[in-house]
């Protein structure tokens, strides 16, 4: 209870007592006055106290109010900063931002958007959106667009904006519909896609250019995946299938080509490309729709795509004409080879006839000298005949394995002079040594002459002997050695006026062969010839 | 009837056939017929029953001398002497597969022919 309330109650009680007792004594008045004074003093104290309290409370309130004002100011400042920042971001984001009323009136556009249109923000605000977006020139189109946004939510659309100067540029807008306070708005973030469109056009032009090249070349160009589907084909491929490019792409061979055997060849080669990851070339046949069979030389290579998958790139060249020509050349060559072989056979037969005719003369002659001469001629004919026989029998009509020939010839001559049963024939032949025909004839005659002379003269008065023949390839030369261990040759017959016919012939053949000849007449005759092969 | 051995000559070159016929006569053999192909040779062996056949390997027609000889061997034991070049081992090996046969390398001497036939006849006898 406050003091003034306490004194107020004491005063009321004293006044009641005075009234009840009708007191008039000075004491009572004194008492009453005292009480009044005390009450007054108490009231004064309470008043002072209240003043202090009020003063203190007012100060607190003032302080709180100041704080509140400050906080409010900070909030306002922050809000302003954020708004400015957002506006700055929106203005400088590079994207045009546009807010349009549901009715199509532009309510907001940022600086970027306005600049792109070549207009001021102020000029644009309040204008109908169709003034800048050609898509919405007709209000119905705008209404449809708004309805679309309402029904389907945000969407990306492409349009064409018109600048102040009338020029048009392509845009892409992320647009959505929003409703605030019962009012509808279309908010759009709009990008100038001129550069993107230009790049796309450039890429498209590039693609078309490459496509034009691919379709212009007469070669077949195709890409298949590992399943065997055509991923890409050029016009040349489409043409041989008798279909359009679109009809072939994503098709398998067996869906568009009826010849199974040919497909098997295609598939087999493609398997190899994938298996070995290496290019593979082959000749392929392809039957056209009209039954014509084409031959292609095809190279297939593994084609690694950006995503890591491996496809097969194939390039085929039509070699049908070349194959026909090649076959004609082969046939012509075969005919000529056959003809040449036939000529050799005829020559051989003619030599056989001459040999036979000489044989008839030998049969009819009783003169040993004549017989001897005829036999020598027969030997020379046989050495030539054998060459033509070999040429006819072998595929190579221009050169002969000289080692084999000398071995055959030597054994044949040995058989002719079979009365020399005790003369051994030893042949060491290195094979193969090919000698051209123009060298073979003098070489054969040379060997025939030396061996015939050896059998005729080397072993006179001897009971046995040995003839050694060796052939060897010495770089670009053919080394021929013929030796016997007979009685040797009279030095007079080696050269000069008394030189034997046989020796003359040997020297003549040697000269024809352009060979280096050396003769050793010691413990028999030893011939060495170094004959150039070419 | 002559006692001379009768030989069928199969040779497609007329001059060589003439020469070989002459050699055969000198050897004491009678050339009963000269044909230039395998079909006629088989027929002649079947009908004329020669004592020996002198068969060139390269003759006219689809059959060569070796194939002809093999067909002859199906019904006849007549000895056959092949005439061949010397450089073809494969041909010689094929020829050697024919039973009761020998071979001479062309060009031949009369002496070699007589010897070859005599040898074959000795073997047969």
Nearest residue to A118 via CA among A158, A88, A162, A76: A162
> If you measure CA to CA, which chain B residue comes closest to A358?
B109
The domain boundary, picked from A303, A318, A333, lies at: A318
The pLDDT score that the predictor gives to residue A418 is 65
The pLDDT score that the predictor gives to residue B68 is 96
The pLDDT score that the predictor gives to residue A2 is 54
Instruction: Domain of residue A188: give its range.
Output: 93-198
Task: Give the CATH number for residue A127.
Answer: 3.30.450.20
Q: Distance (Å) from the C-alpha of residue B84 to the closest C-alpha of chain A?
A: 10
Q: Distance (Å) from the C-alpha of residue B39 to the closest C-alpha of chain A?
A: 23
The pLDDT score that the predictor gives to residue A468 is 94
Instruction: Find out whether B16 and B27 touch, Cβ atoms under 8 Å.
Output: no
Please name the residue that has the structure tokens 């012939």.
A505
Q: Distance (Å) from the C-alpha of residue B75 to the closest C-alpha of chain A?
A: 31
Q: Distance (Å) from the C-alpha of residue A493 to the closest C-alpha of chain B?
A: 31
Distance of CA B107 to the CA centre of its chain: 14
Read off the pLDDT of residues B36-65 as tens digits, 9 standing for 90 and up: 999 999 999 999 999 999 999 989 999 999
Question: For the complex shown, is ipTM > 0.95?
Answer: no
Whether the per-residue pLDDT at A126 is higher than 80: the answer is: yes
Q: Looking at the structure, tell me whether residues A358 and A414 fall in a common domain.
A: no
- In this structure, is the dihedral angle defined by the CA atoms of residues B79, B81, B87 and B91, taken in order, positive or negative? negative
Among the partner-chain residues A357, A360, A408, the one whose CB lies closest to the CB of B86 is A408
Count CB neighbours of A285 within 10 A: 14
Q: Read off φ and ψ for residue A473, nearest 5 degrees.
A: -90, 125
CA–CA dist A382, A359 (Å, integer):
12
Q: What percent of chain A has pLDDT over 90?
A: 56
Nearest residue to A435 via CA among A387, A467, A395: A387
Q: Looking at the structure, tell me whether residues A459 and A403 fall in a common domain.
A: yes
Q: Looking at the structure, tell me whether residues A405 and A525 fall in a common domain.
A: yes
Among the partner-chain residues A356, A390, A393, the one whose CB lies closest to the CB of B19 is A356
Whether the per-residue pLDDT at A499 is higher than 80: the answer is: no
Nearest residue to A135 via CA among A151, A146, A124: A146
Inter-chain contact B85–A412, Cβ cutoff 8 Å? no
Over range A469-497, report the average pLDDT.
87
Among the partner-chain residues A363, A381, A408, the one whose CB lies closest to the CB of B110 is A363
Give the angle A291-A260-A312 at the CA atoms, nearest 5°. Answer: 105
Read off the pLDDT of residues A185-235 as tens digits, 9 standing for 90 and up: 999 999 999 999 999 999 999 999 999 999 999 999 999 999 989 999 999
CATH value of B5-124 in 3.40.1440.10, 3.30.30.60, 3.40.50.2300, 3.30.428.10: 3.40.50.2300
Q: How confident is the model at residue A422 (pLDDT cuts 50, 70, 90)?
A: confident
Over range A324-345, report the average pLDDT.
88
Q: Is residue A106 part of a domain?
A: yes
Q: Looking at the structure, tell me whether residues A404 and A519 fall in a common domain.
A: yes
CA–CA dist A413, A380 (Å, integer):
10
User: Most A CBs within 10 Å: which of B28, B85, B102, B103, as the mutation test of the A interface?
Assistant: B85
Q: Read off φ and ψ for residue A290, nearest 5 degrees.
A: -85, 5
Residues 59-88 of B with CB under 8 A from A: 85-88
Nearest residue to A188 via CA among A132, A123, A138, A120: A132
Contacts of A352 (CB under 8 A, 6+ apart): A385, B13, B16, B106, B107
> In chain A, which residues have their Cβ closer than 8 Å to the Cβ of B85?
348, 386, 389-390, 392-393
CA–CA dist A118, A137 (Å, integer):
19
Instruction: Find out whether B58 and B65 touch, Cβ atoms under 8 Å.
Output: yes
CA–CA dist A312, A226 (Å, integer):
7
Q: What is the DSSP letter of A278?
A: S
Q: How many domains does chain A have?
A: 5
Q: What is the DSSP letter of B112?
A: H
Is the pLDDT higher at A317 or at B122?
Answer: A317
The pLDDT score that the predictor gives to residue B124 is 53
Question: A310-319, B6-15, B65-74, B79-88 — which is least confidently predicted?
Answer: B79-88
Instruction: Find out whether A416 and A379 touch, Cβ atoms under 8 Å.
Output: yes
The pLDDT score that the predictor gives to residue A99 is 94
Q: How confident is the model at residue B95 (pLDDT cuts 50, 70, 90)?
A: confident
Count CB neighbours of A275 within 10 A: 10
Instruction: Find out whether A94 and A112 touch, Cβ atoms under 8 Å.
Output: yes
C-alpha distance from residue B50 to each of B37, B44, B64 (Å):
16, 8, 19
User: Most A CBs within 10 Å: which of B87, B112, B116, as the mutation test of the A interface?
Assistant: B87
The domain boundary, picked from A86, A111, A134, lies at: A86
Among the partner-chain residues A357, A394, A412, the one whose CB lies closest to the CB of B105 is A412
Q: What is the DSSP letter of A164?
A: T
Q: Looking at the structure, tell me whether residues A284 and A403 fall in a common domain.
A: no
Q: Distance (Å) from the C-alpha of residue A513 to the closest C-alpha of chain B?
A: 23
Q: Looking at the structure, tell me whether residues A341 and A409 fall in a common domain.
A: no
Virtual CA dihedral for A475, A476, A479, A480, nearest 10 degrees?
A: 150
Q: Any chain A CB within 8 A of the CB of B28?
A: no
Over range A162-171, report the average pLDDT.
93
Q: Is residue A386 part of a domain?
A: no
The domain boundary, picked from A86, A107, A122, lies at: A86
CA–CA dist A60, A65 (Å, integer):
8
Whether the per-residue pLDDT at A488 is higher than 90: the answer is: no
Containing A214, the helix (H) or strand (E) segment is helix A194-216
Give the angle B71-B72-B73 at the CA atoms, nearest 5°. Answer: 90
Contacts of A249 (CB under 8 A, 6+ apart): A230, A231, A232, A233
| Tokens describing residue A461 | 């008065």
Task: Give the CATH number for residue A417.
Answer: 3.30.565.10
Inter-chain contact A404–B20, Cβ cutoff 8 Å? no
> In chain B, which residues have their Cβ closer than 8 Å to the Cβ of A357?
19
Average pLDDT, chain A: 88
């Amino acid at each position: 209870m406050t003091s003034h309330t306490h004194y107020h109650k004491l005063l009321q009680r004293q006044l009641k007592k005075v009234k009840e007792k009708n007191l008039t004594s000075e004491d009572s008045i004194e008492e009453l006055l005292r009480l009044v004074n005390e009450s007054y003093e108490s009231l004064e104290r309470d008043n002072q106290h209240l003043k202090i309290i009020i003063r203190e409370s007012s100060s607190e309130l003032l302080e709180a109010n100041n704080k509140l004002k400050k906080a409010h100011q900070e909030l306002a400042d922050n809000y302003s900063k954020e708004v400015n920042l957002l506006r700055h971001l929106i203005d400088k984001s590079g994207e045009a931002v546009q807010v349009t009323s549901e009715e199509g009136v532009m309510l907001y556009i940022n600086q970027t958007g306005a600049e792109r249109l070549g207009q001021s923000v102020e000029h644009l605000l309040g204008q109908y959106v169709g003034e800048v977006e050609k898509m919405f020139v007709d209000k119905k189109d705008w209404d449809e667009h708004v309805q679309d946004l309402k029904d389907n939510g945000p969407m990306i659309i492409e349009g064409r904006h018109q600048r102040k100067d009338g020029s048009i540029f392509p845009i892409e807008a992320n647009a959505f519909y929003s409703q605030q306070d019962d009012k509808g708005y279309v908010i759009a973030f709009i990008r100038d896609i001129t550069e993107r469109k230009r790049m796309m056009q450039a890429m498209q032009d590039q693609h078309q250019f490459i496509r034009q090249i691919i379709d212009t070349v007469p070669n077949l160009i195709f890409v298949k995946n590992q399943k065997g589907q055509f991923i890409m084909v050029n016009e040349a491929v489409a043409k041989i299938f008798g279909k359009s490019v679109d009809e072939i792409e994503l098709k398998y061979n067996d869906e568009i080509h009826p010849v199974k055997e040919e497909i098997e060849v295609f598939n087999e080669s493609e398997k190899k490309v994938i298996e070995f990851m290496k290019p593979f070339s082959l000749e392929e046949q392809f039957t056209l729709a009209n039954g014509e069979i084409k031959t292609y030389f095809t190279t297939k290579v593994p084609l690694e795509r950006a995503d890591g998958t491996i496809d097969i790139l194939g390039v085929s060249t039509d070699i049908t004409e070349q194959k026909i020509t090649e076959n004609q050349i082969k046939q012509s060559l075969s005919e000529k080879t056959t003809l040449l072989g036939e000529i050799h056979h005829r020559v051989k037969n003619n030599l056989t006839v001459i040999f036979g005719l000489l044989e008839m003369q030998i049969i009819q002659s009783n003169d040993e000298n004549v017989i001897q001469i005829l036999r020598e001629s027969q030997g020379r004919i046989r050495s030539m005949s054998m060459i033509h026989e070999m040429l006819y029998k072998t595929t190579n009509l221009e050169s002969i394995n000289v080692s084999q020939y000398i071995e055959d010839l030597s054994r044949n001559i040995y058989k002719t002079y079979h009365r020399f049963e005790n003369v051994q024939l030893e042949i060491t032949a290195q094979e193969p040594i090919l000698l051209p025909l123009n060298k073979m004839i003098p070489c054969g005659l040379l060997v025939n002459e030396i061996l015939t002379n050896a059998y005729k003269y080397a072993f006179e008065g001897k009971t046995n002997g040995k003839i050694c023949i060796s052939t060897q390839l010495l770089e670009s030369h053919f080394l021929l050695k013929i030796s016997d261990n007979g009685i040797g040759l009279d030095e007079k017959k080696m050269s000069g006026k008394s030189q034997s016919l046989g020796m003359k012939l040997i020297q003549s053949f040697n000269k024809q062969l352009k060979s280096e000849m050396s003769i050793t007449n010691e413990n028999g005759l030893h011939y060495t010839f170094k004959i150039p092969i070419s | 009837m002559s006692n001379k051995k009768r030989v069928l000559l199969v040779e497609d070159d007329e001059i060589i056939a003439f020469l070989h016929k002459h050699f055969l006569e000198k050897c004491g053999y009678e050339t009963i017929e000269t044909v230039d192909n395998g079909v006629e040779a088989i027929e002649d062996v079947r009908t004329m029953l020669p004592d020996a056949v002198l068969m060139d390997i390269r003759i006219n027609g689809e059959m060569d001398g070796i194939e002809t000889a093999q067909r002859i061997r199906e019904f006849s034991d007549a000895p056959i002497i092949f005439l061949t070049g010397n450089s073809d081992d494969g041909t010689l090996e094929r020829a050697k597969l024919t039973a009761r046969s020998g071979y001479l390398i062309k060009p031949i001497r009369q002496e070699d022919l007589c010897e070859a036939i005599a040898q074959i006849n000795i073997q047969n006898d």
